[in-house]
Structure 1
Amino acid sequence: MFVINGNNHILGRLGSQIAKNLLNGEEVHIINAEGIVLTGSPETVIEKYKQRRRIKHKGRPEKSPSWPKVPQLLVRRIIRGMLPWKTLRGRESFKRLKVYMGNPKNLESQKPLENAQFKGNSRFITIGELCRNLGAKN
C-alpha cells in the first residue's frame, strides 16, 4: 500500500506517477486531496473547469461526461483520465485508488515525491479553492 500526502504536490505530476503505480498493481491512498496544487492563473483554471462542467449532450444530457465538484472525487476523475479506462486493466487499476479529504483513517504518508513537489515560484490554485469556486459546500 502506497500512501501519499497531497499537500503541495502538483496534480499532473503526482497523477502520472500514481497512474504508473496503479498499473503496476499497487494500491494507492491519497490523503489531504484538497491541498493538491494546480499551476496556472487561478481565473483561467476556474473557467476551464466550469466550462467542462457545462458541456452537455443536447439530445441525451444524462449521457454527458460528469465532472464532480467535491475535491476527492475531482482528483479521482483527473487520475482516471491518465489510466486506460476503457480496458479491463485500467478499470481494475482504478479500483485500487482511494482519495480522502483530510486524513480520516490516520494513515501515515511516506516521504513526499520529489519531482511532484510544488516549489512556490508560479501562480497556482489548490483543489479545495477550485472546488469552492465550482460550488462545493466545503
Structure 2
Amino acid sequence: SRKPILIDGRGHLLGRLASVVAKQILSGRSVVVVRCEDLQLSGHFFRNKIKFLAYLRKRCNVNPARGPFHFRAPSRMLWKAIRGMVPHKTKRGQNALRHLKVYEGIPPPFDRQKRLVVPIALRQLCLRPDRKYCSVDRVAHEVGWKYRDVVNNLEAKRKIKARLSYLHKKKLKKITWKARVAVADSIKPQNEVLKQYGYLTSEFEKKYARPATSATSSKPGKRERQDLYLAAKAERKASRLEAKKLGKVVKRKSKAKAKAKPTGKSA
C-alpha cells in the first residue's frame, strides 16, 4: 500500500545494494532499482570476468536446460544476487520477490520521479580510493549481453529530454517570479487581511527583494532567495505568535465575564 522506494543504481556496489534491498522487501516494502547497468563491482575487470566465466561452467551435464541459469543482463544479475539473500523457496520469500522490480536505464514513469541512493552501498564511500573496480555493464557485455548499445542510446535520448524539460521548468519559474513581484502592490489589501490570520503572502517578496542590477539579473540568486525565505519564515512566525496572544486575551476576557456573571438566583 505504501509508495515504492525508487533507487538509482548508478555508482553502487552490487552486493552491498542487494543486501539493503533484500532487507527492505522482506519487511514488506516495494523497491524499484533503475540504471542497473551502472552498478559496480570491487576488483578490476579481468578478475570479475574470470569469476563469471568460472560461474558459467557450472551447469547440469545431462540437460543444461534444467539449470542453473546464468543471467547476462545487469538487472537480472542484481535480481539473482537479491534472491540469494532471501528465502525464495518459502511463501514469505516469494512474496518478497514480487515487491522487487529491476531495470536497465530509467523507463517511464520512473524518469519523472525522485530517485534515491543508498549511502552505505555507494562505491565512493565504501572502497578506498586506490582500490580497483569495474562496471557491471562491461562484464555483462563481455559474457553475452547484447543490449548495451541499445540501452546507451535510449539513455542518451532520455537525458536530452530531461535537460529540455528542466530548462522549460526553469523558464516558467522565472516568469512566475516576475509576475508575483509585479502584482504585489495590487493585492496588498488582501495580503494585509491574510496576514492577520497567519497566512504567508507574496508581500514579503516585494518587501525584501533587492534591486536588480540589470534586466538579466531580475531574479534573485541563491543567497537572496535564502534571505527571502528566512525573512518570510520569521514574519510568519511573528504573525502566528501575535494571533496566538490575541486568542489568549479573548479567552481571558470570556473567563472574566463568566466569573462576573452570577450563577445562582438571589433570595
Q: String of CA shifts for 1:70-115, please: whole Å, max 9, x gaps.
A: 1111211111111111111111111111011110024234432111
Q: String of CA shifts for 1:42-93, please: whole Å, max 9, x gaps.
A: 2111111122122111223222210111111121111111111111111111
**1:30 alignment counterpart:** 33
RMSD, aligned α-carbons: 1.4
Unmatched 5+ stretches in structure 1: none
So what's the TM-score if we normalise by structure 2?
0.49
So what's the TM-score if we normalise by structure 1?
0.93
**1:118 alignment counterpart:** 123
Unmatched 5+ stretches in structure 2: 149-267
The correspondence for 1:136, drawn from 137, 145, 149, is 145
**1:20 alignment counterpart:** 23
With over 3 angstroms needed to count, the CA separation of the structure-2 counterparts of 1:96 and 1:15, relative to structure 1, is same
Question: How many aligned positions are there?
Answer: 138
- Greater RCO, 1 or 2 (C-alpha within 8 Å, sep 6+): 1
Deviation of 1:10 (Å): 0.9
Question: 2:91, 2:145 → 1: CA distance?
Answer: 32
Question: 1:128, 1:96 → 2: CA distance?
Answer: 24
Q: Which has the higher helix share?
A: 2
Question: 1:7, 1:106 → 2: CA distance?
Answer: 18
Look up the equivalent residue of 1:50 and give its one-letter code: L
Residues 1:94 and 2:103 are matched in the alignment: no
Question: 2:24, 2:114 → 1: CA distance?
Answer: 16
SS in 2 for 1:29: strand
Question: 1:64, 1:6 → 2: CA distance?
Answer: 28
2:6/2:116 contact within 8 Å kept: no
Counting only pairs closer than 5 Å after superposition, residues 2-13 of structure 1 correspond to structure 2 as 2-13=5-16
Q: Which has the higher strand share?
A: 1
4+ residue runs over 3 A deviation = none
Question: 1:115, 1:135 → 2: CA distance?
Answer: 30
The structure with the largest alpha-carbon Rg is: 2
